[in-house]
Amino acid sequence: MIFKELIKRKRDGQKLSSEEIDWIVKEFTSGKIPSYQMSAFLMAIYFQGLDDQETLALTKSMLESGETITIPSDLPLVDKHSTGGIGDKVSLILSPVLAEMGLNVAMLSGRALGFTGGTADKLESTGMKVELTPEEIEESVKRFGFSISTQTENVAPADRKIYALRDATATVESIPLIVASILSKKLAINTESIVFDVKVGTGAFMKTLKDAEKLAQGLVNVSKLYGKKAAALITEMSQPLGEYAGNALEVKETLSALSGEISPDLLEIVTSLCGSLYQLSDLGTFECGKNLAKEVILSGKAYERFVNWIEFWGGSLNLPTAKNIIKVKSEKEGWISNINGERLGYLIIEMGGGRKKADDAIDYSVGLRFFKKIGDFVKKGEVIGEIYCSEIKHEYINSFLSAYEFSSSPVDSPNLIKKSIV
């Protein structure tokens, strides 16, 4: 095959065959295609897109470039993927709850990406082991009904190489490239069903409902073409989820949530995703699964399972705590109309709670607490949040306050679930 011809066809909006896409991935991964040609190809995809069959072919080729993991399971084996947001500790709460509901969970989770946090980093704040071998994942599922671990270097190495080039060539934002990248890692485990939590709003990568819908539909279509049962919920991220954002603080919030003290937004999102997986696994209706998840959370039944799991993998509930807590007072009065999660995410990184460079160490103790949500009325001087930091800096307070927008007339609180895609 002549790569220049394939680039030209994609540039002109033509469809490529699975064999052609597979050939490109193999040649690029083995170093036979130079980066300048692959960059042109990625840019052609950025402008012309890929249809579902092409995206499936790209997903499969990247998936097959690395190892796949087979976990034996007598119970339905499921997974959940979030596209990332601020205060999103859903995976931590949902996994032991699903195990309590009679499902098995095998989840490969990423580290922090851009301005959002990562499940693996949150778990590492307990000191537990998060890089598990396939045998250890199997053991975790067998003992606790769930496993959450990082994807190893062996999973989808082609995606890592292509992602690095996308990052350098302004082609990360292409929806089919995002779909193939996510799925090349998510499909590496033999789960039967997967639900996608596609976040939309100022604290998410997808800022508009239209883009979120395209991404959700792409993830569901390609997963189904691959042979999985799949669904997606498009959920609210124009304000942080729950009460805290920051690694150790989110584990602490998870512990409260699993003992029945959970903020209403977090309860709604977690139980809806559980309901969706319950339905996909043919155990009952969405509503039935959602109610069961609610009952498990409010009764505190999954708490012990989660704590035993952390301790089994070497973690401790002696979580790191921040040296200082700053109370943030509002300088304005009115109804909150938006809370910019992207700014808050960058504030956490600035305080050391995320990485500026890939090898930066994380201060797990830092983070933010939110007392108010969209639609709440705030008086001037009222405390709206807290900043957990190792050093007190006035710029932290300014950044926190700059994330809040106010309206002089009442504002409705937004729908938490914007759309369900099956």
Provide the CB-side half-sphere exposure for 295 (13 A, CA): 9
122, 302 in Cβ contact below 8 A? no
List 325's β-bridge partners, or say none: 388
Strands (E), 214-262: 229-236, 244-245
Q: Give the type of residue at 188.
A: A
Alpha-carbon distance of 364 to 374, in angstroms, equals 27
91 in contact with ligand URA (CB under 6 A):
no
End-to-end, the C-alpha distance of the chain in Å comes to 38
181 in contact with ligand URA (CB under 6 A):
yes
Q: Reply yes or no on whether 394 is catalytic.
A: no
What mask, x for binding ligand URA by CB under 6 A, covers residues 136 to 165? Answer: ---------------------------x--
Sign of the four-CA dihedral 202, 47, 184, 193: positive
Nearer to ligand URA, 19 or 131 (CB): 131
SS3 389: strand
State the catalytic residue, choosing from 160, 185, 199, 294.
Answer: 185
Nearer to ligand URA, 112 or 378 (CB): 112
Find where tokens 């490109």 sit. Answer: 24
Contact stretch for ligand URA (CB under 6 A) within 148-156, 178-186, 261-269, 326-334: 178-186
367, 245 in Cβ contact below 8 A? yes
Nearer to ligand URA, 21 or 293 (CB): 21
Contacts with ligand URA: how many residues (CB under 6 A)? 5
Q: Rounded to whole angstroms, what are the CA distances from 119 to 133, 213, 263?
A: 17, 24, 19
Closest CA to 116 of 359, 396, 414, 343: 343
User: Residue 2 CB, nearest distance to ligand URA (Å)?
Assistant: 28
Q: Tell me the residue number closest to ligand URA, measured at CB.
A: 181
Contact stretch for ligand URA (CB under 6 A) within 21-29, 176-184, 255-263, 340-348: 176-184
Contact stretch for ligand URA (CB under 6 A) within 174-182, 190-198, 221-229, 296-304: 174-182
Nearer to ligand URA, 128 or 172 (CB): 172
Nearer to ligand URA, 112 or 362 (CB): 112
182 in contact with ligand URA (CB under 6 A):
yes
Q: Reply yes or no on whether 159 is catalytic.
A: yes
User: Residue 181 CB, nearest distance to ligand URA (Å)?
Assistant: 3
Which member of 62, 178, 198, 212 binds ligand URA (CB under 6 A)? 178
Q: Give the type of residue at 418.
A: K
Q: Reply yes or no on whether 129 is catalytic.
A: no
26, 56 in Cβ contact below 8 A? no
SS3 239: coil
Binding site for ligand URA (CB under 6 A): 163, 172, 178, 181-182
Give the catalytic positions in this structure. Answer: 81, 159, 166, 181, 185
